[in-house]
Structure 1
Amino acid sequence: MRYRRAGLAKVLACTAVLALAASACGSGGSGTSADGKVELTIATFNEFGYEDLLKEYEAANPNVKITQRKTGQAQPHHQNLFTKLAAGSGLADIEAVEEGYLSQVMSKSGQFEDLKELGPKDVKEDRWLQWKVDAVTTKDGKMIGYGTDIGPLAMCYRKDLFEAAKLPSDPESVKALFETWDSYFQAGDQYVQATGKAWFDSASQVFNPMHNQAKVGYFDRDDKLVIETNDDKKYFDQVSGAVQRGQSAKLVAWSDEWKRGFKESAFATKVCPSWMLGPIEENSGPELKGKWAVTAAFPGGGGNWGGSYLTVPKQGKNKAEAAKLAAWLTAPEQQTKAFVAKGTFPSQTQALISPELLNKTSEYFGGEKVGLLFSEQANKVPGAQYKGPQDGTIQETVISPALQAVEQGTSPGDAWNQVVEGAKKAAR
């Protein structure tokens, strides 16, 4: 959802090992309590902003009792999800799914309810941005999740470091630098030449959104591996070339070194999905308030990185009631409240034009109207990228290590050969 997606390989590797142990976890769904109430469980991770909303739902529906299972990070949550899917029992009535794990879930879509059929009939697809719906719709037209938040992309940058390098620094004038990936890397060359310092944090943090702008990921819609024939080689060469010209700070995202890099001014730009504003402020500290800026521009147009869905596994005992709760939580009114509570940027079209969102500003980013900015960016996303079953595994265990190898001195050619070989193995 927000902040971090890591360990997909570990998730998938652990699934088979843990499946037998999970079979003792009890049946899916919660049934009915001793006092006759419908018991529902909802499993989430990180911050969805649902704590007060669940109390509000219980107050409006006194026959329902809700228990939230909240995991700190996405990786253990999804490990539990895949383990219990394999075991056939033990899942919550509502399971949250992060966008980075969606391809694995879609490959198991038969184990989830079609919410077009099960959900309230007044819930229509036009509640959400179309690309958000498309990403969770199966090839035979079933919708297995209700969209929660998204991560529309913009660019964040350090105004003071731009000024020191004699680059444009106000949010309007920098848009030309971020118009295309070519212009972005050209500006990076200027910055490195002027300062001798890095332009971005890590190669994989730049490659990921470049790749995500394509219509299909590492597989085509027939689930055939296309990494050798799509544009990924071009993206890989662009990023690798920038690394060789000194543009990367060579920091592994979410590591302690990466976190310190913000405070130490180790890089001047950051690919910036809406949820990244929080980590930037947290890691940079109060002394850099007003020095970071965000602009409504992103190389190559729009893009998305992150976001989640609420699904209803077929294991549950109260699936219709679970779908009703999931529909209520993902209504524009509730998602706007979740945004106000935790900053989770909504995917609902009506929420994106709500005054509460559009008037949201960030003093840390110079008073920028970040709600309006990211709402505009969300509408620039051209469509949902098709991802094959092993798409996330290739991203996590093949692409990222290869780019890190380039940052440590491996030639781009050798690293790309490593990518092709690793992708073929993952696709088998």
Structure 2
Amino acid sequence: MRPRRWISAVVCVVASATVASCGAGGAANRTADGRTELTIATFNEFGYEELFKEYEAAHPDVKITQRKTGQGDPHHQNLFTKLGAGSGLADVEAVEEGYLSQVMARADQFNDLLEIGPRETTPDRWLKWKADAATTGNGRLIGYGTDIGPLAMCYRKDLFAQAGLPSDPEGVKALFATWGSYFAAGDRFVSKTPGIAWFDSAAQIFNAMHNQHDVGYFDKGDNLVVESNPDIRNDWNAVTSAVAKGQSAKLVAFSSEWNTGFKLGRFATKTCPSWMLGVIETQAGPENAGKWAVTDVFPNGGGNWGGSYLTVPKQSKNAGKAAELAAWLTAPEQQVKAFQARGTFPSQVDALENRALLEHVNTYFDNVKAGALFAAQVQKVKAAQHKGPADGQIQENVFGPALQSVEQGKRADDAWNAAVQEAKKIAG
């Protein structure tokens, strides 16, 4: 989810009085009425709120307590801090793909779900690349895949029409065919619509471009390649050039200003991994229903951005029941329901063929069959990008702020050099 992520998990959520009981060892946590308490923490939007109620109704001996963090980075920093401390984690912990490599490096602190989970929940239920990413070299499955983030493009039809650009999903495809055509359309747009930007954030565009490559900030040997991989610098140059031409709204993703930008129509396009649909609907609000559209084309062919996993740390006192809950939340039926609730796109093979998914209509986005649209986008993804150590940290804490500094007036070359040095410090 979320993020991504977006945009893209579960975390220990308990009242302050019971936080200490989240540690390893001892008897299972119990509520006052004798039920087993399963703590689960999520970030951004997973679409689980109604599913929790459904699970509790079917399992009256279980009480689910959720803690939901607004963004992924604080969630993961909390996760790694408590892993180091040896206590304080939830029964089920969420992990976003950008941070998965750091979890895999600590795989001995997580349960093997092939051992403690339901027998029928096997890796072949998922897209191969999704399950492979959470499988250790000796075959231990550390996480059940939740969503994935096949990429499409969202845009404001009314703002396109105002700028004299095509506004129907078929007509815009030529504008979004390549990054070159996308930025060229941006030049046309901003020349016709003073005060309205082409895109929301340089970092959001850069991240989408970056996720289309075979490797991220590290090569497959986990060596930092920020300086040696020309794709990274080429993406940087393209995005910062667009910023210089006034195409960016200069908003920080998931900030209050960014949220308001959706509501007030301060930008016309949005890179749209499937989970972003729920974010747009939430932030743009009912007054903008029907103004946003999504098209099944993405510059340079598509890709995947975001997606998460549900893990069960060895600290959990309720590991077996936690694995059952995680398996149920990630089963095809629940993945489809989560998509219908928040646009988090399924990663299980059977879910991708589910009629309810393929026939799902998103009324907010002009009644598009969003399930079928993103199912087609999935077929363009042949493998997950290799994410090395600290990949997510470099994206969130280095390149995001560096691009923001360019939006605030810093020279692009100076910001690039600073980002390279910061990435080297993090990579060690």
> Secondary structure at the residue paired with 2:89?
coil
Q: Deviations over 1:31-63 (max 9, x none)?
A: 27599988352422244444554455456556x
Matched, 1:307 2:304: no
Please tell me the residue identity of whatever aligns with 2:222.
D
Distance 1:296 1:252, change over 3 A: same
Return the letter of the residue paired with 2:41.
T
Instruction: Normalising by structure 2, report the TM-score.
Output: 0.87
Aligned residue in 2 for 1:16: none
Distance 1:352 1:27, change over 3 A: same
Shift of 1:204: 0.4
| Paired amino acid for 1:278 | G
Which residue identity does 1:27 align to in structure 2?
A
* CA positional deviation for 1:200: 0.8
Match for 2:392: what amino acid?
G
1:424: Cα distance to partner?
Answer: 0.9
Does the 8 A contact of 1:200 with 1:269 survive in 2?
yes
Structure 2 unaligned regions, length at least 5: 7-18
Q: Classify 1:252/1:184 alpha carbon distance in 2 versus 1 (closer, same or farther; 3 Å).
A: same
CA contact (8 A) 2:23 2:86 kept: no
Contact 1:398 / 1:422 at 8 angstroms: preserved in 2? yes
Seen in structure 2, the aligned counterparts of structure 1 residues 25 and 232 have a Cα distance that, compared at 3 Å, is same
8 Å CA contact retained: 1:29, 1:41 = no
Counterpart CA distance in 2 for 1:98 and 1:67 is 21
| Partner of residue 222, structure 1 | 221
Query: How far off its partner does 1:134 sit?
Result: 2.6
Instruction: Measure, in 2, the Cα distance between the counterparts of 1:105 and 1:214.
Output: 22
Matched, 1:43 2:33: no
Report the more deviating stretch, 350-359 or 206-215: 350-359
Equivalent position of 2:203 in the other structure:
204
Say whether residues 1:31 and 2:8 are aligned partners.
Answer: no
Return the alpha-carbon distance in structure 2 between the equivalents of residues 117 and 267 of structure 1: 48
Match of 1:347 in 2: 347
Q: Pick from 74, 90, 109: which aligns with 1:111?
A: 109
Aligned to 1:9: none
Aligned twin of 1:393: 393
The equivalent residue for 2:64 is 67
3-state SS of 2:301 partner:
coil
User: Which residue among 163, 166, 187 is the counterpart of 1:165?
Assistant: 163
- TM-score, normalised via structure 1 length: 0.87
C-alpha distance 179-382 of structure 1, shift in aligned 2 (>3 A): farther
CA RMSD of aligned residues (A): 2.8
Q: CA deviation at 1:156?
A: 0.6
* Residues 249 and 34 of structure 1: CA distance in aligned 2, closer, same or farther (over 3 Å): closer
Q: Measure, in 2, the Cα distance between the counterparts of 1:226 and 1:247.
A: 28
Give the whole-Å Cα distance in 2 for the aligned partners of 1:259 and 1:367: 23
Letter in 2 for 1:107: A
1:361 partner SS: coil
Preserved contact between residue 56 and residue 62 of structure 2 (Cα < 8 Å): yes
Structure 2 residue aligned with 1:248:
248
Q: Which amino acid counterpart does residue 42 of structure 2 have in structure 1?
A: F
Paired residue secondary structure (1:268) = strand
> 1:25 & 1:282 partners in 2: Cα distance?
32
**2:181 matched to which residue of 1?**
183
Contact 1:30–1:316 (CA<8 Å) still a contact in 2? Answer: no
For residues 195-220 of structure 1, the C-alpha deviation after alignment (integer angstroms, 9 at most, x for no partner) is 34421111101001111111111111
- Indicate yes or no: 2:80 matched with 1:82: yes
Gaps of 5+ in 1: 7-21
Describe the SS at the equivalent of 1:372. helix
Q: In structure 1, what residue type is equivalent to 2:198?
A: W
Distance 1:112 1:24 in 2: 18
Superposed displacement of residue 403, structure 1: 0.9
Match of 1:10 in 2: none
**Using the alignment, how far apart are the partners of 2:125 and 2:5 within structure 1?**
26
Supply the AA of the counterpart residue of 1:381.
V
Contact 2:4–2:305 under 8 Å retained in 1: no
Contact 1:405 1:415 in 2 (8 A): yes
Counterparts of 1:349 and 1:423, CA distance in 2: 36
How far is 1:332 from its partner?
0.7
Shift in Å, 1:270: 0.8
Give identity over the alignment, percent: 62
- Structure 2 letter corresponding to 1:383: A
| Native 8 Å contact 2:56 2:63 kept in 1 | yes
CA displacement 1:117-142 (0-9 Å, x = unmatched) = 44333223221122221322234443
> Is contact 1:340-1:356 (8 Å) kept?
no
Once the two structures are superposed, residues 234-281 of structure 1 have per-residue CA deviations (whole angstroms, 9 ceiling, x without a partner) of 110110111112211112222232222223332211111222223323
Greater shift after overlay, 175-184 or 127-136?
A: 127-136
Q: How far apart in 2 are the matches of 1:126 and 1:427?
A: 33
Aligned in 2, Cα 1:157/1:58: closer, same or farther, shift over 3 Å?
closer
Q: Secondary structure at the match of 1:44?
A: strand
Task: State the AA in 2 paired with 1:307.
Answer: G
Cα separation, 2, equivalents of 1:380 and 1:260: 33
